[in-house]
Amino acid sequence: MIYFDHNATTPIDERVVEVMQPFLHSFYGNPSSLYRLGRLSRSAVETAREQVAALLGTQPSRVVFTSGGTEANNLAVNSIDDSSSVAVSAIEHPSMLEPLFHRRSSYRKFSLIEVDENGRVIPEAIDGLNLNQGDFVSIMLANNETGVIQDIAGLVEKLRRRRVVFHTDAVQAIGKVPVSFDQLGVDMMSVSGHKIYGPKGVGALVFTKGSEPKPMLLGGGQEHGWRAGTENVAAIVGFGKAAELAASELDERRRRIESLRDKLEQALAELAGVTVFSKNAERLPNTLQISIPGVDGEMLLMRMDQHNIAVSSGSACASGAGEPSPVLTAMGVDSVVAKGAIRISLGKDNTEQDIDKMISVINKLLVL
Ligand code: PLP
């Protein structure tokens, strides 16, 4: 199988499995227990926190572990004070948009921030928002469909005097491009383990002093009370190792993946009428979203599956919904073109042969 859907999830790295294994067998202690077995688990969780903090360019004390990116986003939303003004980009992941829409009536004002035809937030769109101290803004660092990277540091700077709480969803960015929480200047940031060759079901919310999350889960006081519940030690340990590997291998992975993506993009762009979305924006090195005229994205996906190639027709959660992608719709893409979209997202183990096979299969499918 040729796997080109790394923005949906990544295969777990063998080196990650190796460090997790003892915590599924012998080291089963509860990190809150005071005897040696418990302390061993506690120490492993704190090592993982250091590894994750190092990848994210911040202090371990700023990292609260969650069950994934979805929970981290929901935790950020839960921390918004009622009657604040809230502004969020129109292209956020559903795990950000849905909880916000759900609580929308409690906000003083709720605004969607527009993007341009390349999927970039329009900086002037922020100027018109009447935001003040304690209001909440969320703009993702990199989009899961197009791969577009936003200038978060610039947008934070624009809003600095207003003293808003600025959250960014960095789930797709980490491990693919350098990300420094401290340098971005945001107040909160969401990340996830399974997009960086770690296990599923683990992630983190990172926050500054003064922007502590308001807990959704109450109980045993774990994670300083910000997220109660016995820690998923093995998954946290795996996330830590995946973060360590992502930090040390980032440059090499990025260079290789980008050159493969560019080769594929060049070959596909030569096919008649193909649209490459967000071509003129800064994008993740691994992501390529295209539409082929007259070809339905889901149909193409199923045909590729028959050739043992896995791609996506949009964000994994939206696949099968039959609706054009809200991200492409927000970019003003025509609904027929948007329905033809397929997302190809490369990973560290893809090879030149994978790219050649993909090009030949697409060419074969298009003449059928
Ligand atoms: N945010 C973005 C941008 C994502 O792409 C995803 C997953 O696809 C999530 C959040 C949710 O993360 P998780 O799958 O860890 O809940």
Question: In 3D, which of 16, 22, 41, 23 has the Cα closest to residue 31?
Answer: 41
Question: 225 versus 317: which is more confidently predicted?
Answer: 225
| pLDDT single digits (tens) 179-195 | 999 999 999 999 999 99
315 falls in which pLDDT band (50, 70, 90)? very low
The pLDDT of residue 271 is 85
pLDDT reading at 320 higher than 60? no
The token pair at 166 is: 């600025």
Q: Of 34, 218, 269, 317, which one is the catalytic site residue?
A: 317
* Count of C-beta atoms within a 10 Å radius of residue 53: 20
Ligand 1 proximity of 231 Cβ (cutoff 6 Å): no
Residue 101 falls within a domain, yes or no?
yes
Residue 312 falls within a domain, yes or no?
yes
Residue 302 and residue 223 share a domain: no
The token pair at 356 is: 């050649």
Last residue of a domain, one of 206, 226, 245: 245
The token pair at 85 is: 């003004």
Residue 304 and residue 157 share a domain: no
231 Cβ partners below 8 Å, 6+ apart?
Answer: 31, 41, 45, 65, 222, 223
Residue 221 and residue 173 share a domain: yes
Angle at 176 between CA 235 and CA 157, to 5 degrees: 105
pLDDT reading at 120 higher than 60? yes
Q: How far apart are CA 189 and CA 127, in angstroms?
A: 22
213 Cβ partners below 8 Å, 6+ apart?
Answer: 64, 75, 76, 78, 79, 188, 205, 207, 226, 227
Ligand 1 proximity of 238 Cβ (cutoff 6 Å): no
What's the domain range around 130? 14-245
The pLDDT of residue 52 is 98
Beta bridge partners of 87: 111, 137
The pLDDT of residue 305 is 97
The pLDDT of residue 272 is 76
Residue 233 and residue 89 share a domain: yes
The pLDDT of residue 234 is 98
Question: 295 versus 33: which is more confidently predicted?
Answer: 33
Residue 315 falls within a domain, yes or no?
yes
Residue 365 falls within a domain, yes or no?
no
Residue 262 and residue 139 share a domain: no
Is 317 an annotated catalytic residue? yes
Ligand 1 proximity of 95 Cβ (cutoff 6 Å): yes
Residue 111 and residue 79 share a domain: yes
Ligand 1 proximity of 147 Cβ (cutoff 6 Å): no
* Count of C-beta atoms within a 10 Å radius of residue 122: 13
289 Cα: distance to centroid of ligand 1 (angstroms): 18
Residue 241 falls within a domain, yes or no?
yes
Ligand 1 proximity of 343 Cβ (cutoff 6 Å): no
Residue 367 falls within a domain, yes or no?
no
Kindly give the number of the ligand 1 atom that is closest to the alpha carbon of 143: 3
DSSP-derived letter for residue 121 is: B
| pLDDT single digits (tens) 128-181 | 888 999 999 999 999 999 999 999 999 999 999 899 999 999 999 999 999 999
| pLDDT single digits (tens) 80-101 | 999 999 999 999 999 999 999 9
Kindly give the number of the ligand 1 atom that is closest to the alpha carbon of 70: 16
The pLDDT of residue 293 is 84
pLDDT reading at 321 higher than 70? no
Say which CATH number the domain at 71 has: 3.40.640.10
How many distinct structural domains can be found in the chain?
Answer: 2
Q: Work out the percent of the chain whose per-residue pLDDT is above 70.
A: 97
70 Cα: distance to centroid of ligand 1 (angstroms): 6
The token pair at 1 is: 């199988």
36 Cα: distance to centroid of ligand 1 (angstroms): 36
69 Cα: distance to centroid of ligand 1 (angstroms): 5
Ligand 1 proximity of 285 Cβ (cutoff 6 Å): no
Q: Are residues 342 and 312 in contact, defined by beta-carbon separation less than 8 angstroms?
A: yes
> Strand, coil or helix: what is 161?
helix
User: What is the average per-residue pLDDT within 209-233?
Assistant: 97
pLDDT reading at 199 higher than 70? yes
The pLDDT of residue 365 is 86
Residue 262 and residue 149 share a domain: no
Q: How far apart are CA 114 and CA 52, in angstroms?
A: 32
User: Considering only CA atoms, which residue is closest to atom 5 of ligand 1?
Assistant: 144
Ligand 1 proximity of 93 Cβ (cutoff 6 Å): yes
Q: What's the length of the chain?
A: 368
171 Cα: distance to centroid of ligand 1 (angstroms): 6
Q: How far apart are CA 76 and CA 64, in angstroms?
A: 11
Last residue of a domain, one of 202, 221, 245: 245
User: Considering only CA atoms, which residue is closest to atom 10 of ligand 1?
Assistant: 69
Residue 88 falls within a domain, yes or no?
yes
Residue 302 and residue 269 share a domain: yes
Question: In 3D, which of 316, 302, 319 has the Cα closest to residue 368?
Answer: 302
Ligand 1 proximity of 142 Cβ (cutoff 6 Å): no
The pLDDT of residue 314 is 63
The pLDDT of residue 323 is 83
Beta bridge partners of 115: 121
Q: How far apart are CA 138 and CA 132, in angstroms?
A: 14
Question: Phi/psi zone of residue 124: left (φ > 0), alpha (ψ -120 to 50 degrees), beta?
Answer: alpha
The pLDDT of residue 128 is 85
Kindly give the number of the ligand 1 atom that is closest to the alpha carbon of 194: 15
Beta bridge partners of 109: 85
Residue 366 falls within a domain, yes or no?
no
| pLDDT single digits (tens) 37-75 | 999 999 999 999 999 999 999 999 999 999 999 999 999
User: Considering only CA atoms, which residue is closest to atom 14 of ligand 1?
Assistant: 69
CA 242 to chain centre: 15
Residue 227 and residue 96 share a domain: yes
Residue 164 and residue 126 share a domain: yes
Say which CATH number the domain at 353 has: 3.90.1150.10
Last residue of a domain, one of 245, 265, 285: 245
The pLDDT of residue 318 is 47
Which string of DSSP letters, residue by residue, matches 86-111? Answer: EEEETT--HHHHHHHHHTGGGSSEEE
The token pair at 28 is: 């089963």
pLDDT reading at 319 higher than 80? no
CA 169 to chain centre: 6
Beta bridge partners of 168: 189
Residue 179 and residue 270 share a domain: no
User: Considering only CA atoms, which residue is closest to atom 9 of ligand 1?
Assistant: 69
Ligand 1 proximity of 6 Cβ (cutoff 6 Å): no
The token pair at 255 is: 């260079």
137 Cβ partners below 8 Å, 6+ apart?
Answer: 86, 87, 88, 113, 126, 129, 131, 159, 164, 165, 166, 167
The pLDDT of residue 118 is 97
Residue 240 and residue 290 share a domain: no
